[in-house]
Chains A and B, each alone.
Chain A
Amino acid sequence: NGDVEVTKGDIGLTYNEETGLLTGIKMNGEYIPITQKFLLYRGFIGNNGNSANRSSGAYIFRPNDSNVYTVSEKATIETYLGSLIVEIRQTFSDWISQTIRLYCSENFVEFDWIVGPIPTDGGNGKEIITRYTTTLKTNSTFYTDSNGKEILKRVRNFRPTWDLNVFENASGNYYPVTSKISIRDETNGLEVAVLTDRPEGGSSLSDGEIELMIHRNCFADDSFGVGEALNEYAYGKGLVVRGSHYFSSGSFLKLTGDQTLASQQKDIAQRKLLRAWTFLAPTDGLSFKEYK
């Protein structure tokens, strides 16, 4: 059906030849249909006179409406098939691109994205997210971590200690993600988790979805104190951000080798958040033997 399958070790993914978009990931013995897109919210601009007129700014995320706009329905794609690594390189626009990596002997899929400078056209700011959509039946529930420690259960449009009326569907369901966000299909025993290399905002606005905000610009101050619009720049241009998501999925009921899915994810998080330090030094022309 136009899907191309690429595998490395025990991990595989499929993407659509026509659209260049991801269509599924296989790891830990389970194939999960999945799409991933880059989307954007348009930031609200108001006069900050009352809460309904508050602009989206440095302190708060407040989109113009609940609509989310697709940056591109297609990606141009290039593949690199090596013995240590497979890379699928996707270009969505001249300011969003991504490399999906499968390593031999690793138990995650890496999404290494580069976003920016965000275009400044259109008046409203742009708040860029990436959204992973699966077929998991998640019953309005998702999980986010708290400073890499306790995993907290989040239920859409619900707070455990008071009755909640949500008027802003997207921002009202956003939570801080320090290093992990996950969803579970309790009926089929499946879990999908995305581990981040930095804190981001995230949510699951529909069943089976995970979304994370990775970059934003806002053209109006939200009047909460910074006194300046959030449009960070360097070298006279809007910032370019590069970051990674580490994708893990499988059954949370079965053991994979001697590991559970949770312990596998903890191992990935430790190795990525306390990663090895790399130092280089010239050898002044000495051979390996002389240097040793």
Chain B
Amino acid sequence: EDNLNSLREAMGVLQHHDAITGTEKQHVAADYARLLNRGFNQCSTATKTALNKLANNDTNNSSTAVEYQQCQFNISECTVSENENSFVVTIYNPLSRPVNNYVRLPVLHDNYEVHDPEGKKIATETISLPKAILNIPGRDSKATQEILFLAENLPPLGFKTYYVSKTEGVVSNKTHQEFQANPNKNS
């Protein structure tokens, strides 16, 4: 309850019409951002516990409990995907019907492979980030690329976990045509 209250309180404060419409003073806008960020962080303890419960992991045992983390994908920044050679991505579907979802993860290199929950290697692509993202003030990331894959058929109100790992060497069988300036119309 304590971990949820911080975000509940922030959401309570942010019902104020100034927060809805953006008619607050600058220092109040900064304070709203602070309250929300604190709420997100404290709530993440609750989501970690909930996900571990759904995955039948023993949360009392540190060797089996998974340290789920969330990232600021809006600015393409993620400590886990940028720093780990292998990591897992768990995608939760909040809708009551199955959906497909494209996943984008910021990374430093272009040689990754992704396995679905059954261990089958799935199609991935590595795409360079737009320059405008790299220059966003406050972004603290070395990632210059994103890996993209399709999480298919996510169960209603359920999740799937994908295993991502860095491979040795350079990916040789690229299936895409890299960014090309002013491409010829006949290409």
The interface of chain A, by Cβ under 8 A from chain B, is 2-4, 17, 58-59, 76-85, 87, 89, 91, 97, 99, 103, 105-106, 114, 117, 224-228, 230-237, 240, 242, 270-271, 274-283, 285-289, 291-292
B35 contacts A by Cβ under 8 Å? no
Given A77-B181, A114-B132, A278-B70; 7 other pairs, CB 8 A cutoff: A17-B182, A76-B181, A84-B149, A103-B102, A228-B26, A236-B137, A276-B92
A89-B179 Cα distance, complex, nearest whole Å: 9
Given A84-B150, A283-B86: A4 in contact with B183 (beta carbons within 8 A) = yes
Selected from B137, B176, B178, the residue in CB contact (under 8 A) with A234 is B137
A contact residues around B23 at 8 Å (CB): 58-59, 224-226
0 or 1 for each of B69-101: is its CB under 8 Å from A? (1 = yes): 111011100101100111111111111000111
Q: Are A83 and B176 in contact (CB under 8 A)?
A: yes
Instruction: Write the nearest CB–CB distance from B56 to chain A, whole angstroms.
Output: 13
Q: Are B125 and A79 in contact (CB under 8 A)?
A: no
B170 contacts A by Cβ under 8 Å? no
Selected from B88, B102, B119, B130, the residue in CB contact (under 8 A) with A114 is B130
Selected from B29, B69, B130, B177, the residue in CB contact (under 8 A) with A281 is B69
Instruction: Write the nearest CB–CB distance from B76 to chain A, whole angstroms.
Output: 9
Selected from A59, A80, A280, the residue in CB contact (under 8 A) with B179 is A80
Q: Are A279 and B70 in contact (CB under 8 A)?
A: yes
A2-B127 Cα distance, complex, nearest whole Å: 27
The interface of chain B, by Cβ under 8 A from chain A, is 18, 21-26, 29-30, 47, 51, 66-71, 73-75, 78, 80-81, 84-95, 99-103, 105, 115, 119, 123-125, 127, 130-133, 136-138, 148-151, 154, 163, 165, 175-183, 185
Interface of B is mostly: mixed
Q: Are A280 and B68 in contact (CB under 8 A)?
A: yes
A277-B10 Cα distance, complex, nearest whole Å: 20
Q: Are B99 and A276 in contact (CB under 8 A)?
A: yes
B contact residues around A85 at 8 Å (CB): 102, 125, 127, 148
Given A80-B176, A226-B23, A292-B119: A274 in contact with B88 (beta carbons within 8 A) = no
A236-B81 Cα distance, complex, nearest whole Å: 29
B contact residues around A227 at 8 Å (CB): 25
B contact residues around A277 at 8 Å (CB): 47, 70, 91-92, 94
A11-B78 Cα distance, complex, nearest whole Å: 31
Instruction: Write the nearest CB–CB distance from B110 to chain A, whole angstroms.
Output: 12
- The 3 tightest CB contacts between A and B, nearest first, are A82-B176, A235-B137, A280-B80
Interface centre among A106, A224, A228, A287 (most CB of B within 10 A): A228
